[in-house]
Structure 1
Amino acid sequence: MIIKRFFTDRYDKDLIFVRKDVTFGEFKDYVFAQKKEFEKSDINEIALLCENYFDFAVNFFAAIFAGKNINLVTDKSRLKLLNKTYMLPEKPVKKLKWQMFENIYNPKDIKINFFTSGSTGVPQSIIKSLYNVQMEAQATVEGFNLASLKGITICATTLCTHSYGLTFGFIMPFDSFFKIYGTRIEFPEQLPKDRDYIMISTPSFMEKLTKYNYEFPNPPKLIFLAGAKLDENVYNYISRFSDVVDIYGSTETGNIAYKRGGNVFNVFHNVEVDKNEDNRIIVKSEFFTGEQAVLNDIIENLENRQFTLKKRSDRIVKVLEKRISLTEMENTLKKRDDIEDAYCFKYKEMLAAVVVTKNYDLTGTELKKYLAGYIEVTPKKWRFLDEIPRNISGKIDYEKIKHLFDLNLSLPFVINKKVDELNGEIKLKFKRNSNFLNGHFDIKPIVPGVVQLYFAKFFAKELFNLDDLKSDMKKIKFSNIINPDEEITLKLTNKEDSVAITYLSDDKIFSSGILVK
């Protein structure tokens, strides 16, 4: 149905994108121009890495009509996984009047190459057809009676290059002709104030709204969430504003089941679910190729098309000849009153743990002693953060976490963070036992200027989702000494070609400068 709409003028005057208002007829002109650009090259592989939904849509359909293979990558690091020559298209900027051409396109023959999230550090390629994701989108519309929401707009915080983002934020509105908010939502202030909308998001995005008691000025009619486990407290807070649907699925299978709070999932009406002898879930549906898929998730109480999700079977690792449950270790850590969250993983043949805590004095040594009463092997490496790093799709960002452990540098203790599109503010302390203080005035240590600049750049990239910043810095000024264990504020202002940084407290400025993009 999606492809057929391009070969009639029936829909040309209908608005398809909002914020940047574009009719379907205008959109076709952008697609036709990009199709012509793709046809100039004999390279068959198109890699799509677009955060902007409009840019993605133009390139996606242009690739189909140009007969190219579509590869969806969620970040630049995944490009090396293609292992073939590819085109990485630029932002579509021109239009060319749509002209009819041979239009024999079978959705089952149009292949889309996804990559799994790589939570284990080893992303895998998953091939689906356009037919698969259309069936998934149509089942969602039918299952939740979305066709009754006339004139609704779809807004997404997720990337359209992720399986969930593609189906819910892109294919579903195109297939059902809902309007699409042309840019991805990064901050709640960007949500529509003057129109009805459905929000496609993740538990991690909602956790941040809950943490800061965010109030929706114009609540969405419906919120779909997927990508990670939804905390019941987060559900209870967000469901005060809207109907919240928690989706369970995977890149391999697409949608499987859903719930509204609680622990019991309801299987989608056109999905079949069973379990094997290990209680791992078996899925059959038209949302993926192949007869069935067996996932690593353990399910219980499968009855009347409902089940509960127990755990992932692949979170058992072997260390020092001992089988260790990472999930059990995390849950044991989270039993402590001073630990809000935890993530454990195998790092260089040893165990490592990330802990979210407000306890400034908490140490890895103390936690090792605590865990030793429950588990045979305890983590050797620890990092204390204000939140578990997650990617845009809401999944734990293994690569970012691994990078934090690869750093031979003690991290500052973050007390709290505030951020919007243009400004960031972080209250933090540099701990006295930080390794970068060794040899820097041992009697009265001070925080080196190079460390201040390093972490200013570190947090600028994190807060504003900047892929990279140049090594150039301008107008660097060190005005006062920063002492260890002193509470200070790092302010960052995101500008078009730079990020202004200032370390300060209530009564003084310590240092300032400009990071060049």
Structure 2
Amino acid sequence: MNTSVNVRDVVLAGGKQTLAWRSKTAINGDELRAQVLLLARALARLDAHSIALWLPDSYDFLAAFLALALAGKRIVLPHTLQAGASVQMAEHFDALLAYEPQPALTCPQYSPSELMARGLLEPEREYSCHNPVAITLFTSGSTGAPQPVHKTLQELEAEVAVLAHDFPSVGASPVIASVSHHHIYGLLHVLLWPLYRGAPFVVEPVQFPEDLIEQLSRYGPAVWVASPTHLARIPQSTVFVASAPLLLEVFSSGGLLSERAAAGLTAKLARSPVEVLGSTETGGVAWRRQSDSPRWRALHEVELAQSARGCLLVRSGHLNLPDAFEMGDKIAMLDGHGFELLGRVDTVVKVEGKRLSLTELEARLSESPLIDQARAAVVRGRRDEVGVVATLTEAGAQALERSGKHKLNTQLRHYLSGFFDRPLIPRRWRYLEHMPSNAQGKVLMADIVRCLEERHS
């Protein structure tokens, strides 16, 4: 695995260039370097080898991440610190770096301010920028139970090199983020790639249209790193159009951007966002811009093929495995340069002895003029029932208000009867203003099932 990217070299070089904006205050390379070195001196003295990092402030997170790398520690990145999940992940780390103590955990715990105070008492030392650094991330999977994924800093740096090769036009433009840096997508696109290319990132996250507009007016033209959940919601604001010209580029990952959302953004931005397909295990593997083509194309130095099950097979320089990795996405290989996604292989379920593709059901609903987004699941019980959580189009919302939920349910069930056998047609319906999503903007199956179990129909 060869890469010219070394983020430890970048931070130790320092400099006066602004690397982050926090509370409208610029933070430069020299300030980041000083904070990283203080933390690294203290971390190097700890007996703990595997240290979990949970800091919601993205600048503090970056400083601690780099300090852990310099100190030669294994970096463990929980995707949440909720009590139940953190206890499940605790076997993978022997210390925690967080702002506040976590009562559910029994390991030693440290805050950034405590470690920086300790670092002031430690002598300066030399650090290697080339020693391997192990990183453990977690994926929630379809059930929500955390599953460890082991990678290295060198693999992440190799992916940064790929992003720099494929998307050079973003340059040093500031980065505005709506996704969490605790996930590989946010870690790469919001922190490590901008650090490498000298692009400042804005620490405060964007969750509402007003946040985006304020940050674009202050820091734009800028790059917006978002998810399909954010891109289906925020651009609907009437004030979004005025700020749209200040968006140099938009990235999306964590799910598929619907054709309707892509078309709406194309109308406002003159082109749709760059969607990146990947996973915690593989990192990024392919990308597309729907205003150009619905096909996906491989990222630089990524080799794609089709497995015997019809799924996507991946080899890449930032996936350091001896064999190709089989993803859970079914594909149609079109040629050497592109493919189409056919849905997840694990979305085929059995209901009353009949096979149902939840992906197909969701796609059929999204074709309806009443449904904007739809996620389907099977609620297991004395009788298995298919359920749907959906957001409505303007026409759908008007139909719900005019005729009520029961009539809307009946109308959609009648529509689906043209495609599916009666036992496969949803019996439970939940209509929400926004899809339930995690900090990454990703819609998890466990949340969909939980929503449907709170039965209101």
Q: Which range, TM-score by smaller chain?
A: 0.7 to 0.9
* 2: CA distance, partners of 1:340 / 1:222: 24
Matched residues in 1 for 2:38 and 2:98: separation? 13
Are 1:280 and 2:311 matched, yes or no? yes
Aligned partner of residue 171 in structure 1, secondary structure: helix
In the TM superposition, 1:445-460 aligns within 5 A as: none
Distance 1:100 1:271, change over 3 A: farther
Kindly state the Cα deviation for residue 294 of structure 1 after the two structures are TM-superposed: 0.6
Identify which of 286, 290, 304 aligns with 1:257. Answer: 286
8 Å contact 2:97–2:112 — kept in the other structure?
Answer: no
Residues 6-405 of structure 1: pairs in structure 2 closer than 5 A: 6-8=11-13, 11-18=14-21, 19-39=24-44, 41-77=46-82, 78-84=85-91, 85-90=94-99, 92-93=112-113, 100-106=124-130, 109-146=132-169, 149=171, 151-187=172-208, 188-195=212-219, 196-213=221-238, 214-217=240-243, 219-239=246-266, 240-241=268-269, 244-261=273-290, 262-291=293-322, 292-349=324-381, 350=384, 351-357=386-392, 358=397, 359-360=400-401, 361-363=404-406, 366=410, 371=416, 374-375=420-421, 376-405=423-452
User: Is the Cα–Cα contact under 8 Å of residues 300 and 308 in structure 1 kept in the other structure?
Assistant: yes
Contact 1:117 1:395 in 2 (8 A): no
Could you tell which deviates more after superposition, 76-85 or 110-119? 76-85
Q: What is the rounded CA distance, in whole Å, between the counterparts of 2:415 and 2:19 in structure 1?
A: 56
Instruction: Output the CA distance in 2 between the equivalents of 1:14 and 1:332.
Output: 50
Distance 1:120 1:326, change over 3 A: farther
Deviation of 1:216 after TM superposition, in Å, equals 4.5
Quote how far apart the aligned CAs of 1:158 are: 1.0
Contact 1:16 1:177 in 2 (8 A): yes
Is the CA contact (8 Å cut-off) linking 1:52 and 1:184 kept in structure 2? no
Deviations 1:239-265 (A, max 9, x none): 333653121222211111111213111
Q: Look up the SS of the partner of 2:424 in the other structure.
A: coil
Larger relative helix fraction: 2
Contact 2:377 2:445 in 1 (8 A): no
In the alignment, what sits opposite 2:102? none
Task: Report the Cα distance in structure 1 between the residues aligned to 2:26 and 2:425, rounded to whole angstroms.
Answer: 55
What is the distance in 2 between the residues matched to 1:288 and 1:329? 33
Change (3 A) 1:397 1:301: closer
TM-score, length basis structure 1: 0.71
Report the CA distance shift for 1:384/1:199 in structure 2 as closer, same or farther (over 3 A): closer
Q: Say if 1:267 and 1:305, in contact at 8 Å, map to a contact too.
A: yes
Q: Which is bigger in relative contact order (C-alpha 8 A, separation at least 6)?
A: 2
Q: Per-residue displacement from partner, 1:473-503 (whole Å, max 9, x unpaired)?
A: xxxxxxxxxxxxxxxxxxxxxxxxxxxxxxx
Give the Cα separation in 1 of the matches to 2:142 and 2:218: 38
Write the distance in 1 (CA, Å) between the matches of 2:216 and 2:413: 47
- Quickly say closer, same or farther: Cα 1:112–1:308, change in 2 above 3 A: same
Question: In the alignment, what sits opposite 1:460?
Answer: none
Deviation at 1:162, TM superposition (A): 0.8
Distance 1:221 1:371 in 2: 40
Offset, 1:406: 4.4
The answer to whether the 8 Å contact 2:286/2:296 transfers is yes
User: Aligned residue for 1:439?
Assistant: none
Which amino acid in the other structure matches residue 74 of structure 2? N
Return 5+ residue gaps in structure 1 as ranges.
411-433, 435-517
Moved more, 95-104 or 59-68: 95-104
2:106 corresponds in structure 1 to none
Question: How far apart are residue 54 of structure 1 and its match?
Answer: 0.4
CA contact 1:216–1:241 (8 Å) conserved in 2: no
Compared CA separation, residues 297 and 319, structure 1 to 2 (3 A): same
Shift of 1:70: 1.4
**CA displacement, residues 351-409 of structure 1 (integer Å, 9 cap, x when unaligned):** 3321334214123973556655623334444323223212232321334334334447x
Cα pair 2:78 2:89 within 8 Å, conserved:
no
Please state whether the residue corresponding to 2:448 is helix, strand or coil: helix
The verdict on how the C-alpha distance between 1:289 and 1:190 changes in structure 2, with shifts beyond 3 A counting, is farther
Q: Which amino acid aligns with 1:161?
A: H
- Which residue type is aligned with residue 234 of structure 2? L
TM-score under structure 2 normalisation?
0.80
- Please name the residue that 1:515 is paired with: none
Contact 1:273–1:305 under 8 Å retained in 2: no
Where 1:169 maps in the other structure, the secondary structure is helix
How far residue 40 of structure 1 moved from its aligned partner, in angstroms, is: 5.5
